[in-house]
Amino acid sequence: MKIIIETIGYIAIVAGFYAATKKEMVNFRVWHLISSAFYVVYGFFINSGPLIISGIIFCIIHWYHLQKNKTTKGKKPGRKTSIKHS
């Protein structure tokens, strides 16, 4: 079981390092979200509250921004499409 727990920790590290190599913010957020999720799982296995809490917070932040990016994609900044002029 110890080897599985350590492998989860190493996957979290590798995913985090890979995230740091991404130039586009969306790719960075996706890979760091994956890394953070693995850190949460790893934190549960090693009973580390700070690791679990920080991982959950990172997951929430990245998920929020990915969803925000998904809903605003295609809209041009500064333009309000819902206002109609008579």
Give the domain range for residue 30.
Answer: 2-71
pLDDT (0 to 100) of residue 78: 57
Q: Quote the tokens at residue 67.
A: 């969803």
The answer to whether residue 85 is domain-embedded is no
Residue 77 maps to a domain: no
> How many structural domains does the chain have?
1
Q: Confirm whether 21 is domain-assigned.
A: yes
Q: Tokens representing 52? A: 């679990």
pLDDT (0 to 100) of residue 65:
94
- The predicted pLDDT at position 32 comes to 96
Answer yes or no: is 78 within a domain.
no
pLDDT of 85 over the 70 cut: no
Examine residue 79 and state whether it is found in any structural domain, yes or no.
no
Could you tell me the pTM of the whole model?
0.78
17: pLDDT strictly greater than 90: yes
Task: Kindly report the average pLDDT of the chain as a whole number.
Answer: 89
Residue 81 lies in a domain: no
Please tell me the distance from the alpha carbon of residue 62 to that of residue 25, in angstroms, as a whole number: 10
* 48 belongs to a structural domain: yes
Number of other CB atoms surrounding residue 68 within 10 Å = 10
pLDDT tens per residue across span 30-61: 999 999 999 999 999 999 999 999 999 999 99
Residue 80 lies in a domain: no
Cβ contacts of 28-32, under 8 Å, gap ≥ 24: 29/62, 29/65, 29/66, 29/69, 30/62, 30/66, 32/58, 32/62
